[in-house]
Structure 1
Amino acid sequence: MQHVSGGLAMDIDILGCSGGVSGNPRNTGTTCFRLGEHILLDAGSGLSKLDLGEQRKITDVLLSHAHMDHISDLPGFLANLFDHIQAPVRVHALNETIEVLKDCIFNYQIWPDFTQVPSPEKPLLEFVVVEPWQSFKLYNYDITPFFVEHSVPTTGYAIKDAHSHLVFSADTTYSQALSDSLNRLGHIDTLIVECAFPDSKLDIAQTSKHMTPSLIQMMLDDLEEQPKKIWITHIKPAYEKQLRHDLRSKGEFHHWRVLP
């Protein structure tokens, strides 16, 4: 786990930020960030860095989409909470994401339906549908979901507290719609953006709707105001060396930080 400030006043821990798994000790596990003590942003394998006491403090999970590397530790995390929470954990996600989780995971075949277990009156899990551009408040954070372009329905999250504005663009590729969304959000202190593939794999990136360094640069060129900081995440371990080379070749690399 890595606690990051980097000019960001918001209390955030990087639990996982890799685009895959490997034996490299730098690999943190797949996508999961913790905001304060009570909120998770995605629930990939990085979630396993939290001990049981820390897990029991989580009340809300913001999911970007239903791909395995973003939900893999959610079932096991919930199974740790019997007798240790007073209210169900709220999982916030697009309706399409919730339906996939209900049909494919919490279906009594892959995992119990924790919206009914241990009882319908006192479940472990509550699903909360989010809608793009319909903001809501959790603790001291104002949260705004916004659509991004990926291979399945996906939402990014803009998160504000009293001091800073963090934007997590989730898994996505370059599109005018994404640039328009980021411009609509206004001033951004820190933008977390994925970069799964090097420029040499542009065809794969576009087919799977992921980013390359050049696609990130195209997105940034569209913005009316540049983010103060850019955090690069979701690097595929097989391409890490080439990706770091490609990212360093960009003129604005001093504003870019490859996580962790």
Structure 2
Amino acid sequence: MNIKVLGCSGGIGGTGGTTCLQLSDQVLIDAGSGLGELSLSEMKGVRHVLLTHAHMDHICFLPMFLANIIGQQSEPVTVYGSEDTLAMIKKHLFNWEIWPDFTQLPDRINPCLKLQTITDADLLVLDDMLLRPFVVDHAVSTFGYSIRKANRHTVFTADTGYDPRLVIQLDTLGDIDDLILECSFPDHLQELAKTSGHLTPQLASRLVTELATPPGQVWITHLKPSYENELRQVLSATAATRHWKLIAGEP
């Protein structure tokens, strides 16, 4: 896998920060507390943030990140997401109450933040990478991302439940070198996982098994801290017989 995992926990109190993937010096996926692993100088180099969805563990460090770099940029940071995702963060976050509206600061002509709506029909070329968003099954509007970088194909499903349509979508992306797949709850909480749009070890295994072509490697992420030890035991047993790896807690 040729991206850096800054944070991948499913909550606080576990191993590591919440979701933030660094694709390059300029490009991030999500802005969870893992973003805090970057130094101030590294933050100043970020130009693009692709959001999967608007849940707090995936956006919580976005406001403070922008506050760190305001007045330090020659151009705005572009934050990409679905229409629903960007509408939610504009209404509930950058609303002058929870946080200032950085699309208007330092001023409307030269803002710190630019919001760019994308759809699953878009292909993005950023910093020599080809990125394609695709819809996944979660509690709110959510994108996963296909990332083609340096002749390697990585697919990040983000937060998702099991859905046969997702299997079809992943198959249409072509051969996958690295599949980053969430697993939030243990099997005995499968109903909770389904209701909240998450995976269990059994559901994750089912999804991977149903793919037409197996990924080169499966990387498991987004373990809920309260169940992390239990999930690690179960997933480690699976990893011993398949090309699965746990990345929870890896910087």
TM class by shorter chain equals over 0.9
What residue number does 1:13 align with? 4
- Structure 2 residue runs of 5 or longer lacking an equivalent are none
1:87, distance to aligned residue in structure 2 (A) = 0.3
Q: Which amino acid aligns with 1:116?
A: Q
Alignment of 1:51-90 (within 5 A): 51-90=39-78
* Runs of 4+ deviating beyond 3 Å: 251-254
1:181, distance to aligned residue in structure 2 (A) = 0.7
Structure 1 residues 37-66: Cα deviation after superposition (integer angstroms, max 9, x where no partner): 111110000101111100000000010000
Q: Which amino acid aligns with 1:49?
A: E
Separation in 1 of the partners of 2:121 and 2:48? 19
1:251, distance to aligned residue in structure 2 (A) = 7.0
Structure 1 residues 109-152: Cα deviation after superposition (integer angstroms, max 9, x where no partner): 00011001110000000011111132110011000000000000
Does the 8 Å contact 1:188/1:228 carry over to 2?
yes
Does the 8 Å contact 1:247/1:253 carry over to 2?
no
Does the 8 Å contact 2:157/2:182 carry over to 1?
yes
Instruction: Give the share of equivalent positions with the same residue, in percent.
Output: 44
Separation in 2 of the partners of 1:215 and 1:185? 21
Q: Secondary structure at the match of 1:215?
A: helix
Q: Secondary structure at the match of 1:160?
A: strand
Separation in 1 of the partners of 2:7 and 2:209? 28
Does the 8 Å contact 1:158/1:165 carry over to 2?
yes
* Shift in alpha-carbon separation, 1:241–1:251, aligned structure 2, 3 A: closer
Q: Which amino acid aligns with 2:16?
A: T
What residue number does 2:135 align with? 147
Separation in 1 of the partners of 2:184 and 2:59? 18
Query: Is 2:206 aligned against 1:218?
Result: yes
Instruction: Choose which of 164, 167, 176 in structure 1 pairs with 2:152.
Output: 164
Does the 8 Å contact 2:239/2:245 carry over to 1?
no
Does the 8 Å contact 2:71/2:106 carry over to 1?
no
Separation in 1 of the partners of 2:12 and 2:239? 30
- Structure 1 residue runs of 5 or longer lacking an equivalent are 1-7
Query: Is 2:189 aligned against 1:201?
Result: yes
How many residue pairs match? The answer is: 248
Structure 1 residues 225-253: Cα deviation after superposition (integer angstroms, max 9, x where no partner): 01101110000111011111221333764
Instruction: Choose which of 19, 22, 33 in structure 2 pairs with 1:45.
Output: 33
What CA RMSD, in Å, does the superposition of the two structures yield over aligned residues?
1.2
Higher relative contact order (CA 8 A, sep 6+): 2
Separation in 2 of the partners of 1:179 and 1:69? 25
Q: Which amino acid aligns with 2:10?
A: G
Separation in 1 of the partners of 2:129 and 2:240? 29
Separation in 1 of the partners of 2:181 and 2:42? 26
Q: Secondary structure at the match of 2:238?
A: coil
What residue number does 1:185 align with? 173
* Shift in alpha-carbon separation, 1:84–1:252, aligned structure 2, 3 A: same
What residue number does 1:118 align with? 106
Separation in 1 of the partners of 2:88 and 2:239? 41
